[in-house]
Chains A and B, each alone.
Chain A
Amino acid sequence: MNGTTTSKHLEPPVLDVENLAIAYKIRGGEVEGVQNVTLSINQGETYGIVGESGCGKSTVAWSIVNFLGANGYIKRGRVRFMGKELTGQSPEEMRKLRGNRISMVFQDPMQALNPSMRLGEQLKEVLTIHRGLNNADAEARCIDMLKKVYMPDAQNVFRRYPHQISGGQQQRVVIAMALLNNPSLLIMDEPTTALDVTVEAAVLDLVRILKTEFNTAIMFITHNLGVVARVCDNVGVMYAGEMVEVASVENLFNSPQHPYTQGLIRCVPNLGEDKVSSVLYPIPGRVPRADRRSVGCMFWPRCSYAEDVCREQKPALRLIPGTQTMARCHFSEKIAPTKWVPDEDEKNYARAEIGNNSDTILSFENLKKYYRVRGNSLKEVFGLGEKKYVKALEGASLKIEPGMTVGIVGESGCGKSTLLKTIIGLEKPTDGEAKFLGFDIAKHISKRDEQLIREMQMVFQNPDSTMNPSYTVGSQIARPMQRFKTVPKKQIRNEVIKLLKSMRLSEKYYSRLPHQLSGGEKQRVGIARALACRPDLVLCDEPVSALDVSVQAVILNLLMRVQNEFNTTLVFISHDMGVVRFISDYVCVMYLGQVMEMGPTEAVYAPPYHPYTEALLSAVPIPDPLARQKRILLEGSVPSAISPPNGCRFNTRCPRRNLLPHPSVCETDPPWQENGNGHWIRCHISMDDLARLDPVIPTERNEKVA
């Protein structure tokens, strides 16, 4: 039985895994982290393994390269590499069998590269040590390989240190290093998760080219369905340590057979849909811990189709009649996604009557924040050198109306976090004006009025550090009420419980400690704490970027609901264009400390685009293999914020410069142009020319799931 739907090859698959089970020894027993995994990967095929965190994706990869650690081992099943059995061999024999024909690429390129060695030395090492090549030959081969991974200026990169090149380039070096041994199997474990979306797009393109050029088998592990749709041929969906669905990428997205796959696809915000029409349907519950798994179907506690048989009997991975998909479900024939009825609880929370409001709750103009950087040259140590500043925020302006959700989007280093810190007062702006409820807030929080502080609260990014581990949920939500005396002492407990309930958390959570909560629950408590003193404005700093997609959907729906309930204004920053589109009424695109484009969401996500917005949109991986997305590759990397380019910040990378008769005009400050309805673009190219560009995403969607 071969795991894939296309097994026409005569030669044995590069990797053939059958019924694999991996166990970890822990105190007082062992847990099977992975069970019943079957897959096979042929030459030139990219096989995606997708699933939420804790589903055992990486464990499968580690078992192949024998990285399971001291307490992990393969308990059952077979792993065959190039027709040779890998299980049951001693580590030494295994190494011989495997040779150096399996390479691995990890998530964080900075950790894969030695920071104190030149990149060239690290690359050459692979060849001089493993292959016994001499120095000159090795160098020639390495530079050749760098060119093959489309590294600009390969000769020069060869002599640099890892910190001197950008993250995307680092990942290219790591991929080049992995390919130097001409591996038969390349395992990529979330290779683009740590990268910005425009860089990610470039790396994914590279992966696709490599597949055809090197004819390598690639195992591609990711949690992002969009990435899967972009690079994979076949996909295995993992849930709670089991393979629950195996299908070709087209079949997976067009007719998912397992309820988990269907749920995953339903809970990802779609870039092609606007706020008013889209609904996210989260999967209730969470992935069970490895030692608390069900005897029957792993998914039944979260499945809306579950019946008694699911609880008692484990379904087998079987070919679903009438399809080419294998799924592990008793009822795959009966659960066509088109007939799915959503839970009445989850509906569209968008309000239609926003805008046309002349009030302003928060406004800032020409806001600047510079951070002084100290060099370590002798001159600078004595304070004689030229003063250098990181210009994190360079003249940002925006007006926010009450009741709106404003999305601020941009890649890392664009200044969106600094903007938030400056608004809330954790940083004092270097220059510029900021007004909140009519009061001046261009100062540090310690100099603001207490009543004003109460009206502005914040939700944070990291669920693991948003709560103080030493205090109970209840006391942490109660603290703002005590601090600002918004609720009489005796009623605090009731008020906290009321808040918990509107976060869909039961009263029992009142006395729990943070370590007893899951990531999504912690984030909900974080939102409750921010709302506890009834602020007018809540700033959200990437509140969903560290969460799994099914949990992300819960939090996004919750935010929209509480916004209606409490009538707060939200400022939501994110690097995810899809999430921002889903939640925002008004969007603001930032690049290198400046706002490039702002306007109502629908206007920003449709032409005319600012060239940077256009590039960002084209880079987002869309979870639909048939989506016809325009592709624009940005060259180079984001310039340093210490010495940003003159004029338009984007001019060094702008793919649309050639639309101008005299591109040199880009080195002067671009004007703000209005497109009506409050949609502003900061660009030299005329609005008419920008409006003529094709939309990045086709507007008419092919109707499929939900």
Chain B
Amino acid sequence: MNIGLKSLEVRHPASAPTSPSAIDKLDLQIKAGEHLAVIGPSGAGKTTLLQALAVGLRPSSGQISVGNQDPWSLNSSLLKQLRSTIFYAPQIPPLPPRQRVITALSSAKLAELSFIDSLVNLVLPKFTQQAYEALCAFDLGEKLWLRVDRLSGGERQRVGLAKALMSSARLWLIDEPLSALDPKRSQQAIEALVSEADQRGVTLVATLHQVAVARQMFPRIVGLRDGTLQFDLAREQVSDETLKSLYADFEHELEEREPIVGDQDLNYSVSKAVIACR
């Protein structure tokens, strides 16, 4: 899905009128099927950018086009249709604790279901196979019928990512997909995500704290700081100096560290489930 931003400016609805915009004069073109990582220190506006792309925040000025149309000029039914082609995964996955994993995953299908079908699906799940395969990609196959509140933080985050595989969206916007995962899990999760996006030809925009992962997995990297574009480079052109200046005064975020809040289940081995569905 093609995306075009032209001197985009986004403010948070709750912010004071005097405070600087979260996104300021941003120009960015993304071609359909491209994979792009957005990096930058905390408070750079990464999440705000994703929300604007997800048509979840209205820009205060500038132009945005998603899939070659201006979302804010569409009527409500066309807007709904456009939104159903976009999948946005917030950093903290919005999963109701008392919902079962199968239901949480099939909620990614709601836009394609009639209201009656979606009610029936609560009682007679119809996406069992697809949900199981999506979970397997993140090594969670055995959690299919569990309730979300039985999962660890890292497992919830991976269920949130598995939702992307369930949706038939053409644009995936993934906010900090690895924030609750340990390095090994991170690698597995990002590989699953990127290779699925590749196979489906989906446009993928992910914000990342792990600069190394961004350089390894994404051909194009955008640096954001204080809401403005610092650089927009192919992976090979991103030098250590570029990164240093992007993270000036935030050097501690550039260092590779073990996540403080991580998956507790470190004694994993590749489970039988993965072997079964590959």
- Do A and B come from the same complex? no
